[in-house]
Amino acid sequence: MKVYKIKSENFIVYRRENEFSAWPRNCGVYKYKGDEIVVNFFTRTCNYQTKEEVAHGYKPPDNSSRIMQIRSKDGGKSWGNLKKILSSINVGSGETENLNYLPPKEFDFKSPDFMLVAITINLLFSEDRGENLYGPCRLPNFGYDFNWARPDYIIREDGSLILFSTVNRTDRKEGKPITIISKNKGISWEILSYITNEKNDYMQIMPSGIILPDGTILCAIRCQRYRHGYSFWSECYISEDYGRTWQFLSRINDIGSPCHLLLLKDGRILATYGYRSYPFGIRFSISEDKGKSWKEEFILRDDGGSWDLGYPVSVQLDNGEILTVYYFNDRKDKVNLDGGVRYIAGSIFKI
């Protein structure tokens, strides 16, 4: 695989010196008409004094864990309208507190202003680009120990919404990617399919899907060996029967995940992923044959301070440029606790 460095405009979306801000892929990035971009992300208090504070499952004494929303109406040039959309949640560990769930009601999945925020079993809905959110509504566990849904979904031609998620394996470890379907506008949810068979030596989580014009669905999956915490790569799976069954299609990269897929206007497929080996950063690959092969890798950034970064989501702006949002920490940051201050960053680039 050939590797190239690409020029990009890199900027801060949200940063506070006393906060750990991360995981936009877990919380949702959305692009609407007119280059309006909405980014949801996790944040909590962090004074960067001890290693315990930067652990992903850390619970701050002030119970400051929350999901925030920030908005750009000019394609990422400026950001504002900051607000909290969910509290008492720890996206890093998958844990949620006891929330007051609202009863389900119908939503128009095909509305150009629709938004679904799926954070583990918590669902929030909007039909006005996230300005007003209904929820949380509760997603079933379907008899599993946990159901770690993320706001990664596709809408079929028949109006059904397919939500990608991960449940536990038969040995109760994390690692079974699934699809969940609602055929009645969000009133109820059912498991549609299991994307892969269970692997003996590595887990498969965080599926990211796209639907092609002919109805074919592609899905990228984060793969990680149980005995080596930083050995990540991404695989691509295909469904040619509307998400009911899946087959392995290709391996996207040597190293890099979780991976987000985006169907570009010209028909190519963009795969963006975090690179958690040195030099730490964000990379992407492109497929010109509907996910069958990924021949080149592009370095978007390689100036990260540690492995603790990534979870990118990409959107294509009206002018054809790509905006990628992710969490990051800087190599030259004055803070150095297993990396610098964790913050939400963005990059704009041309392919």
State the average pLDDT over residues 285-293: 98
Look at residue 236 and tell me if it is in a domain.
Answer: no
> Which tens digit of pLDDT belongs to each residue from 122-136?
999 999 999 999 999
Look at residue 342 and tell me if it is in a domain.
Answer: yes
State the average pLDDT over residues 233-237: 97
> Which tens digit of pLDDT belongs to each residue from 159-205?
999 999 999 999 998 889 999 999 999 999 999 999 999 888 889 99
pLDDT more than 90, % of the chain: 90
Q: What is the DSSP string of 110-169?
A: T-TT-EEEEEBTEEEEESSTTSS-EEEEEPP-TTSS-B-B-S-EEE-TTS-EEEEEEEE-
Look at residue 158 and tell me if it is in a domain.
Answer: no
Look at residue 169 and tell me if it is in a domain.
Answer: no
State the average pLDDT over residues 101-120: 96
pLDDT of residue 231: 73
Look at residue 217 and tell me if it is in a domain.
Answer: no
pLDDT of residue 299: 98
> Which tens digit of pLDDT belongs to each residue from 246-273?
999 999 999 999 999 999 999 999 999 9
Look at residue 18 and tell me if it is in a domain.
Answer: yes
Containing structural domain, residue 266: 2-152+256-349
Query: Global pTM?
Result: 0.96
pLDDT at 114 exceeding the cut of 80: yes
Look at residue 248 and tell me if it is in a domain.
Answer: no
Q: What are the b/e assignments for 58-68, b being 16+ CB within 10 Å?
A: beeeeebbbbb
pLDDT more than 70, % of the chain: 96
> Per the structure, how many domains does the chain have?
1
pLDDT of residue 96: 65
Least confident among 12-21, 84-93, 111-120, 284-293:
84-93
pLDDT of residue 228: 66
Residue 144 burial by CB count (10 A; 0-12/13-18/19+): exposed, middle or buried? middle
pLDDT of residue 95: 63
pLDDT of residue 201: 84
The helix (H) or strand (E) run that includes residue 26 is helix 24-27
> Which tens digit of pLDDT belongs to each residue from 140-158?
999 999 999 999 999 999 9
State the average pLDDT over residues 81-92: 83
> Which tens digit of pLDDT belongs to each residue from 12-56?
999 999 999 999 999 999 999 999 999 999 999 999 999 999 999
| Residue closest to 250 by CA, chosen among 211, 290, 217, 210 | 290
pLDDT of residue 230: 67
pLDDT of residue 229: 62
Decide: helix, strand or coil at residue 59.
Answer: coil
CATH of the domain at 284: 2.115.10
Look at residue 317 and tell me if it is in a domain.
Answer: yes
